[in-house]
Structure 1
């Protein structure tokens, strides 16, 4: 069964397919439009210079049907409070379509066909997406393994120098093109790094047991967290010889790390439409 719900910035969930709220035309949310610019080409004919996406809006009708007046008022009040709070706080929520989400605000609502005797109304919402893409997050976990000494001789050349303290694994990026990502390095580790598809992602910092550091290519933030949860900006601790925010290429990629290194890699699959089912 399809899942469709709104997740507020504070984590509150509003189901849009049950409990008295029923989306009538969720496919309206899947509209996908690229904007474009043109330049004059030879013979005066225009040609496309680039494609890009702006913020987008979509309208969706919700049928509100309650068992009694009290339930109806509760549904309408809670729905308005959730949407209104995110707009007033300027904190986008998420509309989830199964495993995909789109960030934005429900910034406009209207009502039609109110039936007081049946505690029902047709409630139209308009969603403003701050990021026009549907996003699915997929996390790959790489954990510590028993260490050995010596050298490794793989049957094919991956273009890396490594010994038995390293491990060579794979990561498959099934996204459409390069993918944004978040890395989480776990302590204990000194100068943690990982090589993905030939690019080195590394930090010049020390992580104690229980500490971790995050690298996010979307926000361009690098943070370190202590055991107690204290957050420190360690942007200046990045490996400056490599681009730590380089997107992850599409396809099957070699992943090189030390066997003691523990790291999570989350890929952001960004696309114009979610997977329908």
Structure 2
């Protein structure tokens, strides 16, 4: 990895771990991966990626004051119960640093072996924002005739697709912009629907990441309201009407009408990619 840092949740401060004065060397402990599972008769069940412990060697060069600084930030997150974040080239994972054992102490170098609890078992990175425009920003969707007919003509097909570069379904964040009345979006056969209106100038945000699922409405003045109860969850995962349904792999057809929305697919890996 080219860059590695720890972001303290309690203060927002970032600890660079790739030098010039604090080094994590190759950080091989953070690179490992492990699945949790139960063995059966010629089978594997209960497969998941759970929290695990890892070791991280840190070397401080001519900066004993930074040993104190990093300790205070690591401990602040553990004491507050708010996990910090390791960031490796933009791939992030939530973690606590729960232990430090001195290895070498000289006037120039202090080396410590840290014990890290990695909570997610995975690393995530946000993909590029995929934008799906409102009808007003897409001319030619409706046929225009010089006089009225007894029925309306169906809007032309947008041929829009949502893209997930991973070979498995991935979590997402979706932002729906007002004005919109009970907005519904279909991606790959699943309907994502809110049973509430979004006023002009406001937007709804749906976060479908495990452990962080939320649905909020941000008003034009910036006020944020929890509207989790206004999100349809149907029969849950793979039920066809689940607000947090992960985005399928590859390209999926998208259907919506009237409003505009943004979609960000989060890629997940068991360890930070090597390339």
Please, what TM-score do these two structures have when normalized by structure 1?
A: 0.84
Aligned to 1:52: 48
Aligned to 1:244: 243
Q: Deviations over 1:187-240 (max 9, x none)?
A: 222222222112111212222232111112233321111123222221222246
- Note closer, same or farther for the CA distance 1:112–1:31 as it changes in structure 2 (3 Å cut): same
* Maintained 8 Å contact 1:176/1:270: no
Aligned to 1:229: 222
* Structure 1 residue 165, shift from structure 2 partner: 6.8
- CA distance in 1 between counterparts of 2:215 and 2:117 reads 29
- Mark the runs of 5 or more structure 1 residues left unpaired by the alignment: 67-71, 152-161
Tell me the secondary structure at the aligned position of residue 160 of structure 2: strand
Give runs of aligned pairs for residues 4-83 of structure 1, distance below 5 A.
4-9=4-9, 10-39=11-40, 41=41, 47-66=43-62, 72-83=63-74
Stretches of 4+ moved more than 4 A in 1?
none
- Note closer, same or farther for the CA distance 1:193–1:147 as it changes in structure 2 (3 Å cut): farther
- CA distance in 2 between counterparts of 1:196 and 1:54 reads 29
* Structure 1 residue 122, shift from structure 2 partner: 0.8
- CA distance in 2 between counterparts of 1:92 and 1:112 reads 25
- CA distance in 1 between counterparts of 2:233 and 2:101 reads 52
* Structure 1 residue 271, shift from structure 2 partner: 1.7
Q: Deviations over 1:240-270 (max 9, x none)?
A: 6621121111111112222x42212121212
RMSD: 2.2
Tell me the secondary structure at the aligned position of residue 73 of structure 2: helix
Of 143, 166, 171 in structure 2, the residue corresponding to residue 150 of structure 1 is 143
- CA distance in 1 between counterparts of 2:166 and 2:8 reads 26
* Maintained 8 Å contact 1:169/1:254: yes
Aligned to 1:154: none
- CA distance in 2 between counterparts of 1:111 and 1:5 reads 20
* Maintained 8 Å contact 2:74/2:97: yes
Q: Deviations over 1:77-129 (max 9, x none)?
A: 2211211111111001111110211111111112121112x2x2112222101
* Maintained 8 Å contact 1:147/1:164: no
* Structure 1 residue 4, shift from structure 2 partner: 0.6
Aligned to 1:140: 130
Tell me the secondary structure at the aligned position of residue 103 of structure 1: strand
- CA distance in 2 between counterparts of 1:47 and 1:249 reads 25
* Structure 1 residue 6, shift from structure 2 partner: 0.7
- CA distance in 2 between counterparts of 1:179 and 1:81 reads 35
* Maintained 8 Å contact 2:36/2:49: yes
Query: Would you say 1:122 and 2:100 are equivalent positions?
Result: no
* Maintained 8 Å contact 2:167/2:250: no
- Note closer, same or farther for the CA distance 1:62–1:175 as it changes in structure 2 (3 Å cut): same
Aligned to 2:274: 276
Please, what TM-score do these two structures have when normalized by structure 2?
A: 0.84
Tell me the secondary structure at the aligned position of residue 17 of structure 1: coil
Give runs of aligned pairs for residues 94-243 of structure 1, distance below 5 A.
94-116=85-107, 118=108, 120-138=109-127, 139-144=129-134, 145-148=137-140, 149-150=142-143, 163-164=154-155, 167-218=158-209, 219-239=212-232, 242-243=241-242
- CA distance in 2 between counterparts of 1:49 and 1:112 reads 40
- Mark the runs of 5 or more structure 2 residues left unpaired by the alignment: 145-152, 235-240
- Note closer, same or farther for the CA distance 1:141–1:109 as it changes in structure 2 (3 Å cut): farther
- CA distance in 1 between counterparts of 2:126 and 2:21 reads 29
